[in-house]
Amino acid sequence: MRVLGVDPGLTRCGVGVVEGVAGRPLTMLGVGVVRTPADAELGLRLVAIEQGIEQWLDEHRPEFVAVERVFSQHNVRTVMGTAQASAIAMLCASRRGIPVALHTPSEVKAAVTGSGRADKAQVGAMVTRLLRLDAPPKPADAADALALAICHIWRAPAHNRLQQAVALHASKGRTA
C-alpha cells in the first residue's frame, strides 16, 4: 500500500509518502513541505498548495491519501487556514479517484508512539525509528505527514474489515 500523508497548513503543508503493509517494515519514498509566503494573497497560496500536492500525486502515484483531520483550535484564523489546505489536498486526491482518509492528531500520535498525547519530538523520533531514517525529518510538518501515512497503513486493514462487516450487516437487513 502506498500512502501520501498530508499535514495541512497554509505556510507549511507537510507531505510524505510511505509504502508497506501492516506488520512489515515500512519504506519512506519521499518527504517534504509545500511552502507558501505568509504575505501572499490567500487565493494564490491555495493555488500553490494545489500545485504542490498535484506534483506529489504525479510523482508518487499513491493508492490512498491520509490527511490530518482539522480540529478546533483557539485561534480561528489558524484553523481556517488549516481547513483550507486540508480541503485542497482532499480535492486533488478525489479529483483523481484516490480514496481519502482523515485521521485526528491524537489517533496518529497513538498509532505511531502508543500515546495520543505524544509531543512533536516523540512523533519525530518514532517516525525516524519506524522508517529506519538517519535523522528525524525537518520541519516537524514533514515528520507529521509521514506519521499520517504510517497511521493509515496500520489502521486501514482494521477499518476495511469494519466497513465490510457494516456492509454485510446492512445487506442482510435488506434481504430479511
Catalytic residue flag (residue 58)? no
* Closest C-alpha to 7, from 96, 77, 76, 71: 71
Classify the C-alpha dihedral 128-134-140-143 as positive or negative.
negative
- Is residue 134 part of the annotated active site? The answer reads no
Set 19, 68, 119, 144: catalytic member? 68
Q: Which of 82, 130, 121 is nearest to 102 (CA)?
A: 82
Set 41, 58, 141, 144: catalytic member: 141
- Smallest CA-to-CA distance from 149 within 116, 112, 114, 95 is with 112
Overall residue count recorded for the chain in this entry: 176
Q: Is 7 a catalytic residue?
A: yes
For residue 137, give the 3-state DSSP assignment.
Answer: coil
Q: Which three three-digit cell numbers place residue 132?
A: 529506519
Residue 152 in contact with residue 107, Cβ under 8 Å?
A: no
Residue 68 is classified by DSSP as: E
Contact 36, 49 (CB under 8 A): yes
Cα diameter, the chain:
61
Q: Which residues are identified as catalytic? A: 7, 68, 141
